[in-house]
Amino acid sequence: MPKVRTKEVIEKFNLELISGEEGINRPITTTDISRPGIELAGFFDYYPAERIQLIGKTELTFTKKLNKSERAGRLERLCSDITPAIIVTREMEIPEELIEASEKEAVPLLRTKQKTTRFSSMLTNFLESKLAPTTAIHGVLVDIYGVGVLITGKSGVGKSETALELVKRGHRLVADDCVEIRQEDEDTLVGSSPELIEHLLEIRGLGIINVMTLFGAGAIRSYKKISLVMDLEIWDPKKQYDRLGLDEEKMKIIDTEVTRLTVPVRPGRNLAVIIEVAAMNFRLKKMGVNAAQQFTDKLSDVIEDGDHEDR
């Protein structure tokens, strides 16, 4: 599982480190955040110690009503050996007992100026982005008319050359050769390029070219949601290819299914135009316009009319 460390949260949100500096390299393995109100009331049976603990005005006000020994005991129990951090919001004053317990157990005790609910939302979004399931796929990702198209196929089939033609036609390159994909929620896949090869295209015979340098900043983008997969394969005369477009094939990436179209490659076929039209047709289908279905419905009507006339 990918991990983010407490020090990354500190740097991201410019948090004040109060105590427990030894633990800033602790791993954060879940996007869930805990508001330990019920624990401060004394119920620790289901304490989610592996989560970041977020303490707001309500929790701190409650601790002031506890006697000194109760407060010390409960705040100490918040600081476990797997707790990645305790964050106090609204820049409030922190009880001495919590500072001592966090230092003793090396649990980073942090403070922010943000309000609790707002900060909780920002922190959750950050963790979900960092801890999202990831994979890498050999292919090219291009933004075509707002549709993220992942072009796949065997090495040498012409993926990068097709991407170059698409960029020349005004579309935007996201990644060539290796596409890093993260699943941001149940049905959203976002692709980006590894930092080392960002903005670069490898064209056999030319070598490596920098798309941003050649075509400008408008020809690239850093990441894009993947909506469609175009699989290029060498034309097989024995294979039956879809000529109507009624059947929708799916490809599973991580846990998300994406529409996949197989495009046979042979001399004389303009792949860039085919992929461009496929992206436009995909958008139309999403808007409720399905040309293949309309044709099939009309064909059925013609056949039915013919049957009636024969009778």
Q: Could you count the other beta carbons within 10 Å of the beta carbon of residue 299?
A: 11
Q: Which of 102, 131, 160 is the last residue of a domain?
A: 131
pLDDT at 146: 94
Verify that 112 and 146 share a domain, yes or no: no
264 and 233 in contact (C-beta within 8 Å)? yes
Verify that 165 and 277 share a domain, yes or no: yes
Q: Is 160 among the annotated ligand-binding positions?
A: yes
Which structural domain, as residue segments, surrounds residue 52?
A: 4-131
Verify that 158 and 264 share a domain, yes or no: yes
32 is catalytic: no
The H or E element that residue 120 is part of is helix 116-131
Give the pTM.
Answer: 0.74
The CATH number of the domain holding residue 120 is 3.40.1390.20
Beta-strand relationship, 188-192 and 147-153: unpaired
| Residue at 280 is within a domain | yes
Verify that 160 and 289 share a domain, yes or no: yes
pLDDT tens figures, 123-165: 999 998 889 889 999 999 999 999 999 999 998 899 999 999 9
Catalytic residue among 26, 177, 182, 221: 177
Q: Between 180 and 299, where is the model more confident?
A: 180
138 is catalytic: yes
Q: Is 157 among the annotated ligand-binding positions?
A: yes
Verify that 34 and 74 share a domain, yes or no: yes
Q: Is a pLDDT exceeding 70 seen at residue 307?
A: no
Verify that 96 and 206 share a domain, yes or no: no
Q: How many separate domains does the chain show?
A: 2
| Residue at 178 is within a domain | yes
Give the percent of the chain with pLDDT over 90: 75
Return d(Cα 144, Cα 173) in angstroms, integer: 9
Return d(Cα 56, Cα 86) in angstroms, integer: 11
pLDDT tens figures, 109-123: 999 999 999 999 999
Verify that 139 and 124 share a domain, yes or no: no
Q: Is a pLDDT exceeding 90 seen at residue 296?
A: no
| Residue at 31 is within a domain | yes
